[in-house]
Every structure is written in C-alpha cells, then in structure tokens.
Amino acid sequence: MGATVEQALEQLKSTGVRMTPQRHAILSFLMNSMTHPTADEIYKSLSPAFPSMSVATIYNNLRLFVDAGFVRELTYGDDSSRFDADLSEHYHAICRSCGTIVDFDYPPLTEVETEASRQTGFKVEGHRMEVYGQCAECSRPNS
C-alpha cells in the first residue's frame, strides 16, 4: 500500500498547501476506501460531519491531491470520475452492470511497458488496464 495519510499530509504541507480539516477528512476517506468513490459519494459520506462543505470543495481538493500525485483519477466512459488513493501498480476489474471496481495484481504485465518501449521508441511512463464484465453479485442467477 502507498503512503499513510500522515505522510501524504506532511508532503502536502512541505509544498505550502494548508491542511484543513476538510482536506484531512477527504484524504483519509480516500485512503481508507476500497470502493474507488466518486466526488459525489465522498460528499455524501462526509457532509454529515462537515455540513458547510460543498461538492465543489471536494472536487477542488481531489484535483489538488491528483496534481500532488497522492490520488489517481479513474475515468471510464462518460461516468463521473472515480478516485483511487492506492498508487501501487494494480489493475481494475469493472462491473458493467453496477459499476463496482475491484483491484487485482498481475506482476507479469509490467513487461508490457518494456515491450512497448522496444517496439515504439517511446519513453514509457506508465500504463493502465481495465477488465470488464459482470461482478459475482450481478452475474448470479435471479439477481
């Protein structure tokens, strides 16, 4: 797993970003979430504790975290972006019915970067892969 919330906050502070309770809450929520939430889902979860926080505040802070490299933005088709604080190399299996995203690892796939570089001359900086289908819940008969 990547950095702890405290390490991320220290790193943000060192770049001159003020750490507000809202920022702390958003980052903690993301780092503890396994569901790759949307900004809306984060808002719904945090608004009881932060009634004055707007969806715009969430978006602005997510943008800040993405720019700082703590959070990865996942965009799939026209759906709203989902956010992932796990920056380790991992892949996503996505249910076409309910939108559930499940992480999985497959180390041999990193060879793809070497091969892409060899064939194209690109200086490869990363890759992403998604697998699509029906999650166990949605593919169950009578669900």
In sequence order, what E strands does 1-143 have?
Answer: 72-74, 82-84, 91-95, 101-104, 130-133
Please give the single-letter amino acid code of residue 63: R
The pTM (predicted TM-score) of the whole model is 0.71
Stretch 25-52: mean pLDDT: 92
135 marked as part of a ligand binding site: yes
CA 97 to chain centre: 20
Whether 95 has a binding-site annotation, put simply, is yes
pLDDT tens digits, 74-119: 887 656 789 998 877 788 898 888 888 888 888 777 788 899 999 9
Beta bridge partners, 133, equal: 95
- What is the set of domains in the chain, with CATH numbers? 5-84 (1.10.10.10), 91-139 (3.30.1490.190)
Q: Which distant-in-sequence residues (6+ apart) come within 8 Å of 15 by Cβ?
A: 68
Residue 138 is labelled as binding a ligand: yes
